Amino acid sequence: MHVLARLWKREWPLHLMLLPGIALVLIFSYVPMAGIVMAFQKYIPNKGLFGSPFIGLKNFRLLIDYPDVGRVFVNTVYIAAMKIAAGLIVPITIAILLNELRREWIKRTFQTLVYLPHFMSWVLLSGILVDVLSPSSGVLNQLLGYFGIKPIFFLGSNDWFPYVMVISDVWKEFGFGTIVYLAALTAIDPSLYEAAAIDGAGRIKQTFHVTLPGMMPIIVLMFTLNIGNVLNAGFEQIFNLYSPPVYQSADIIDTFVYRMGVQQAQFGFATAVGLLKSIVSFIFISMSYILAYRIANYRIF
Amino acid sequence: MRLNRKVLMTAALILSVGVTACGNNNEKESGSASPSSATQQATASNDAGAKNEVIEVSTASQSDPYLKFDEGESFDKNSVYDAYEKVIGVKITNKWVADVTQFKEKVKITIASDDLPDFLQVNATQLKELTEAGMIMDLTDVYDKNATEETKKFLTMDGGMQMKTATFDGKLMGIPSSYNPYNFQYLYVRTDWLKKLNLPEPKTMQDVLTIAEAFKTKDPGGTGKPYGIAVSKEPFKIDTGVTGLRAFLNGYHAYENLWLEDASGNLVNSDIQPQVKDALKALQDMFKKGLIDPEFAVKDTEKEAELLYNNNVGLVFGASWTPAQLAKGAIKDGKVVQEWGVYPIPSIDGSPTLNQIGIGVDDYYVISKKAKHPEGVIRLLNEWIVVDNTMNPTDDQKTILFGKDKKEKGSNYWLLSPLRVGKQLDNNGEILPKAIGTKDPSILQTADQKGRYERAMKFIDGTDINMWWETLISGPNGAVSHNPKILQNKEYLQNKFYGAPTPTMADRQEILLKKRDEIYFKIIMNQVSVDEFDKFVGEWKKLGGDEITKEVNEWYATHK
């Protein structure tokens, strides 16, 4: 008892400093969860959460009745999964390659350049992409033309659209991702490399047996965090680039919810889909967390 | 408590939808009622005496790139608001201002967060929603008591149809932001190219196809990349005034999302009628021949219009104001470098094309239930109608139209008037071409005609070449010169359904339109056979189309 009191006396300012953070989380993360009831309501703005009539599972039924719900779901997972995979592999590879560079200024310049697109919005980039990918006047198709390849309408073809989304997203974000992995690389003990070199390991072998295992915890962490995004295929990007002929391969849950929920003011419906998404994401995160613990013996909490 | 719930709901909405579209949601902390109201709550009546006391009404405004403020003026403080305050004793404040593209989204957020200004412009769906939610005021009495005879006459020029769309169970819930429904579309063709290639003027739809093909193969613009016709990414939307395809459909006796009577007198939706298939077939053929820009699906109007400015395309369908868009390419370095002609939409067969038109109202002004001075809103309405329609404006009225300099200088100050309604009928088509042709201003009847006449004259007498477009709209062979014949022969088709969206419509409309766009686009772009249309008709019916048709006909039975 005496000890506890002494501890309290010493540590109370720390607890005080924690309060604003807790308050923020409570107000902006926990209290809004009450809004989940909207998923079961026909939400009427001025009647609010407490006055709007309950309609049971009608919002969910509307979603299931939607004829293309399967297609929308598959598109979402397909695009998102490719983005997650590419979003891991590309930055890791780049980080390792950058790490091998001897000249500091080349490394810095490269890093800054690839990092830039991260700060541009999709509204802006979509305008640029439409021009670059244009089959009649786009740079890319002109380039392909030199190799005798016929112009491809990347944004108007269902065969290409999902991959264009993945590639352009990776292009925009890999610079940002690289930073995290570069930080992880600096944490690897140099003596391990020396030991490996003495044992006769070349550059390649060192990468596979020292670098990668050293980065493993951070890779697993990033993967676990990203897997929660498996139903977020990138609303802004797709919304700005899709068009009716590619709805088939481009319509994702978020664009669908936007059209139904926000444009048609069906707030209850939008919340229902959002809730469903959260549940699925939660399951995915839990699973990957357990797997990460089992396989890599890695725990976040 | 109120604030808490608002934050909570907004946050929940954003969280669940996963969209951060709200942009700068800098809602000002406000006590929901106008600040000055406390002292003036007693001033409810609208006697002449009460006008001396200034009342305050709040609204939300759209900023517009075409609105150019005078030095030192802004939405907070400008000569137009001052003039309104001086003349009718109504002080206008803005709860928020958003630019044109964001305005509609912001209105949705405003409704969702139950934070309406005293009056606000909303669409038909929102009008119904707000009425059902009891968030807006029943205007029946306020309007009856405060609207002038002139206002009442002005808003029922169409026989009262538009007012009826704002009436629910006998209660007037909004003021229609009306316009003239007889807004037709026309065919615009480069006449200098027709001459160059020795082609006849377009009289039939076949002529149109012939011209489009000649423009493609002979490349009169000499660009190396010619197309036959300009089409942009939302060709079926009513908002697409230029580069749309609604007029093309009309030429095939097909219509975009319109309710029309079938042989037995029931209402059917035009989107699934067989005539659409013919039109799509024709478009597909044009696409195959390279007459349509293969990238139209990703180009908005402005982007597609570049093809018109740069001589790649010389054929486009559009509303009467299309020349204002064409002017960007037609006038270069003080010279007219492109010559355009306007023609009525031709028909594919012997029977004339019917222009599809609406009711003439898409938006309504509603008054919040919490508004302290609804009569102020009606006074704004009265004043606007007077100001916009007078032939000889007073100084104050000129200020309301043009700002403190009291003369037209292209800064579009009329956009500052917070409540605007247009005329439901006009005879511009009869008067203007004659007046301009004979240079006789004495036959002009309205302020609008006077303004147009003066602009056209500036072009004709050579003082301002940039007024070229007005002549193409209002001149002897301009767009509106075709109107008298269209009106006289009733070559138009009005939507027979003008009620608020039915329950199934609210749920399913979006799905059906999306499905429709997908299949129409794929057919046009030759990705699927035109026979897919038949499959679409089946799906349309199954996905709620039949249900909607039933509901629409139930409505029709009571509104015939």
Choose among B225, B511, B521: nearest Cβ to A66.
B511
Instruction: Output phi, psi for B92, to 5 deg.
Output: -100, 130
With CB atoms and an 8 Å threshold, state whether A232 touches B18: yes
Per-residue pLDDT at B52: 63
Q: Is A145 on the interface with B (CB under 8 A)?
A: no
| Tokens coding B70 | 């005078």
Please check whether residue B377 is in contact with residue B57, taking contact to mean a CB–CB distance below 8 angstroms. Answer: yes
Instruction: Walk me through the domains of chain A, giving residue ranges and CATH numbers.
Output: 68-296 (1.10.3720.10)
Sorted by sequence, the CB contacts under 8 Å of residue B201 that are 6+ apart come out as B189, B191, B194, B207, B341, B343
Cβ contact B210:B511 at 8 Å: no
pLDDT value at residue A300: 64
pLDDT at B38 over 70: no
DSSP secondary structure letter of residue A67:
T
- Reported residue count of chain A is 301
* Helix, coil or strand: residue A297: coil
B295 and A134 within 8 Å at the Cβ level: the answer is yes
Residues B560 and B543: their CA atoms lie apart, in Å, by 27
Rounded distance, CA B402 to CA B418, Å?
14
Checking if the pLDDT of B3 tops 70, the result is: no
What are the tokens at A244? 């009716």
Model pLDDT for residues B59-94, shown as the tens digit of each residue: 999 998 888 899 889 999 999 999 999 999 999 999
**Could you give the CA distance from residue B504 to residue A263 in angstroms, rounded to a whole number?**
16
Q: How far is B282 from chain A (nearest CA, A)?
A: 18
Structure tokens at A176: 């940002």
Q: Which of residues 170-229 of A touch B (CB under 8 A)?
A: none
DSSP state of B91: E
Contact with chain B for residue A262, Cβ under 8 A: yes
Is pLDDT at B37 greater than 60 in this prediction? no
Asked whether the beta carbons of residue A135 and residue B295 sit closer than 8 angstroms, the reply is yes
Cα distance between the two ends of chain B: 48
Q: What is the pLDDT of residue B27?
A: 37
CB contact under 8 A, B295 and A156: yes
* Surface-to-core class of residue A155, CB atoms within 10 Å of its CB (0-12 exposed, 13-18 middle, 19+ buried): buried
B133/A47 Cβ within 8 A:
yes
Contacts of B8 in chain A (CB under 8 A): 31-32, 34-35, 49
The runs of H, that is alpha helices, within chain A are 2-25, 48-51, 58-65, 69-100, 104-115, 122-132, 139-146, 161-186, 190-198, 203-206, 212-227, 235-241, 247-250, 253-257, 267-296
Distance from CA of B369 to the nearest CA of A (A): 11
Q: Which residue of A has its CA nearest to B13?
A: A271
CA distance B108 to B114: 10
Which residues in chain A are closer than 8 Å to B12, comparing Cβ atoms? 32-36, 38, 271
Per-residue model confidence (pLDDT) at position B48:
43
Give the pLDDT band of residue B556 (cuts 50, 70, 90): very high
- Look at residue B23 in the predicted model and tell me its pLDDT: 35
Reported as a pLDDT band with limits 50, 70 and 90, residue B519 is very high
Residue A74 is encoded by which pair of tokens?
A: 């598959």
Residue for token pair 């659209």: A161
Tokens of A85: 């995979």
What is the reported pTM? 0.77
Q: Between β-strands B363-367 and B119-123, what pairing exists: parallel, antiparallel or unpaired? A: antiparallel
Task: Please give the average per-residue pLDDT across B95-124, as a whole number.
Answer: 89
Q: How far is B385 from chain A (nearest CA, A)?
A: 32
State the pLDDT at residue B24.
Answer: 38
A267 versus B368: the higher-pLDDT residue is B368
Instruction: Check if the beta carbon of residue B417 is closer than 8 Å to that of residue B400.
Output: yes
The pLDDT value recorded for residue A301 is 64
Q: Å from B163 to nearest chain A CA?
A: 24
Please tell me the distance in Å from A67's CA to the nearest CA on chain B. 8
Pick the range with the lowest mean pLDDT from A170-179, B46-55, B135-144: B46-55
Angle, to 10 degrees, between the axis of helix A267-296 and the axis of helix A212-227? 160
Mean pLDDT (chain B, rounded): 87
User: What's the pLDDT score for residue B239?
Assistant: 79
pLDDT of residue A1: 61
Q: Among B7, B216, B295, pick the best mutation site for testing chain A contact (most A Cβ within 10 A).
A: B295
What count of other Cβ atoms lies within 10 Å of the Cβ of residue B141?
Answer: 12
Q: How far apart are CA B174 and CA B126, in angstroms?
A: 11
Residue B13 has its nearest CB partner, among A135, A136, A267, at A267
Q: Between chains, do A32 and B520 touch, taking CB under 8 Å as contact?
A: no
- Is A244's CB within 8 Å of B297's CB? yes
Q: Which residue of B has its CA nearest to A233?
A: B18
Task: Count Cα neighbours of B316 within 13 Å in the Cβ-side half-sphere.
Answer: 31
CA distances from A268 to A34, A94, A264, B304, B514 (A): 13, 44, 11, 38, 21
* Amino acid making up residue B33: A
Residue written as tokens 């091998």? Answer: A100
Q: Which of B3-12, B20-29, B133-142, B294-303 has the highest mean pLDDT?
A: B133-142
Is the separation of the CB atoms in B208 and B245 below 8 Å?
no
Reply yes or no on whether the pLDDT at B198 is more than 90. Answer: yes
Given a cut of 60, whether residue B285 has pLDDT beyond it is yes
Instruction: Indicate whether B195 pLDDT > 90.
Output: yes
3-state secondary structure of B189: strand
Judged by phi (left if over 0) then psi (alpha if -120 to 50, else beta), residue A50 lies in: alpha
Instruction: Give the nearest chain A residue to B125 (CA atoms).
Output: A264
pLDDT of res. B41:
37
Does residue A20 sit at the B interface (CB-CB below 8 Å)? no
Using CA atoms, how far residue B230 sits from B73, B226, B301, in Å, is 40, 10, 9
For chain A, which ranges sit under pLDDT 50? none
More confident of the two residues A136 and B480: B480
Predicted confidence at residue B21, as pLDDT, reads 37
Q: Does the pLDDT of residue B319 top 80, yes or no?
A: yes
β-sheet bridge partners, residue B318: B186, B242
pLDDT higher than 60, residue B17: no
Predicted complex: ipTM over 0.90: no
The amino acid at A244: P
pLDDT of B520 over the 70 cut: yes
> CA-nearest residue of chain A to B108?
A265
| A264: nearest CB among B9, B21, B506 | B506
pLDDT score for A269: 85
Q: Using CB atoms, which residue from A48, A155, A243 is nearest to B5?
A: A48
- For CA atoms B405, B406, B407, B408, give the dihedral sign: positive
Alpha helices in B390-502 (DSSP H): 395-402, 428-438, 447-460, 468-474, 483-488
CB contact under 8 Å between B18 and A28, yes or no, is no
pLDDT digits (tens, 9 = 90+) for B385-443: 999 888 888 999 999 989 888 888 878 898 999 999 998 888 999 999 999 999 999 99
Least confident segment among A248-262, A283-297, B10-24, B499-513: B10-24
DSSP bridge partners of B97: B61
Structure tokens given for A253: 């849950």
d(CA B428, CA B321): 13
Separation in Å, CA of B527 to nearest CA in chain A = 8
pLDDT at B140: 95
Phi and psi at B337, nearest 5°, equal -105, -10
